[in-house]
Amino acid sequence: MAIPAFGLGTFRLKDDVVITSVKTALELGYRAIDTAQIYDNEAAVGQAIAESGVPRSELFITTKIWIENLSKEALIPSLKESLNKLQTDYVDLTLIHWPSPNDVVSVEDFMQALLAAKNSGLTREIGISNFTIPLMEKAIAAVGAENIATNQIELSPYLQNRRVVEWAKQHGIHITSYMTLAYGKALKDEVIAKIAAKHNATPAQVILAWAMGEGYAVIPSSTKRENLASNLQTQALTLDEADRTAIAALECNDRLVSPEGLAPDWD
């Protein structure tokens, strides 16, 4: 099963805000939705999906297992609770949200528990998030690269994560980009603005088109209908080689997400 190239992120959106965002997105034509246990919005996302009237078979729903639920005893029960909140019998993709801090639960243990969840039909595909090259090596050793659908990582024009991307590509692991707009910082970039003017596009469309052109899936979020609609139109935009070269030069290792006590030793 291919990971959809374009979807809706729900990080930091809760209650009525996330319900409105998801329902509006589905109305506009979005069909992939990304959530997580720690976002505390799975029930609201489930409500929005149920009220949207969109058939479950048309949707691609992703959730992520939080670090407190990584043990063999907790992972599957926690995923079943997520399914209950999301009002679905299965999700399309389940990710390990962060590797276990200080290796409290080994990569082998939680990846094998996640594979058991897949084998029992609770999730169609499994994957990882915020994994470095050494952690990806351990995940592959545990369940095989063929069972790792994606590695969802922070990736923007300012943090292009080339080593991780290239290694993952060589081992057949797809990349999903989060924080693609760099918390909005990249929207104000002069290089991006020039490319946007050239294509009669928005800066957000340029950045998202760049990421998709590199082969990554993107999951931008928004609470505004016009932004949700505009982001969706990104799929029709193709950048040329000059555009891609200019954006490649923006790399400055500007990592925005690195929670103390949670983040691994980055590559």
Per-residue pLDDT tens listing for the chain (267 residues): 689 999 999 999 999 999 999 999 999 999 999 999 999 999 999 999 999 999 999 999 999 999 999 999 999 999 999 999 999 999 999 999 999 999 999 999 999 999 999 999 999 999 999 999 999 999 999 999 999 999 999 999 999 999 999 999 999 999 999 999 999 999 999 999 999 999 999 999 999 999 999 999 999 999 999 999 999 999 999 999 999 999 999 999 999 999 999 999 999
Asked, for residue 93, whether it belongs to a domain, the answer is: yes
Q: Which of 144, 152, 148 is nearest to 218 (CA)?
A: 152
pLDDT of residue 198: 98
Query: 164 lies in a domain?
Result: yes
Residues with a known catalytic role? 39
Q: Which of 128, 127, 126, 42 shows the shortest CA–CA distance to 88?
A: 42
In a domain, 206, yes or no: no
Is 192 within the bounds of a domain?
no
pLDDT of residue 2: 86
Over the range 83-116, which residues count as b (16 or more CB within 10 Å of their CB) and which as e? bebbebebbbbbbbbbbbeeeebebebbbebbbe
Q: How far is CA 45 from CA 50, 169, 191, 266, in A?
A: 9, 31, 36, 31
* Prediction pTM value: 0.97
Indicate whether 51 belongs to any domain: yes
In a domain, 173, yes or no: yes
Dist CA 111 CA 126 (whole Å): 9
Q: Which residue has the tokens 């915020």?
A: 130
CATH number for the domain that contains residue 98: 3.20.20.100
Judge whether 187 lies within some domain. Answer: no
In a domain? residue 251 = no
Identify the pLDDT of residue 76: 98
Sign of CA dihedral 46, 51, 55, 58: negative
Distance CA 222, CA 62 (A): 17
The confidence score (pLDDT) of residue 1 equals 63
* Domain range enclosing 93: 8-182+216-222
d(CA 23, CA 54): 10
Residue 37: its pLDDT value, please? 98
Number of domains comprising the chain: 1
Answer yes or no: are the C-beta atoms of 237 and 210 closer than 8 Å: no
Could you tell me the CA-to-CA distances from 198 to 187, 232, 253 in Å, in that order?
A: 15, 19, 27
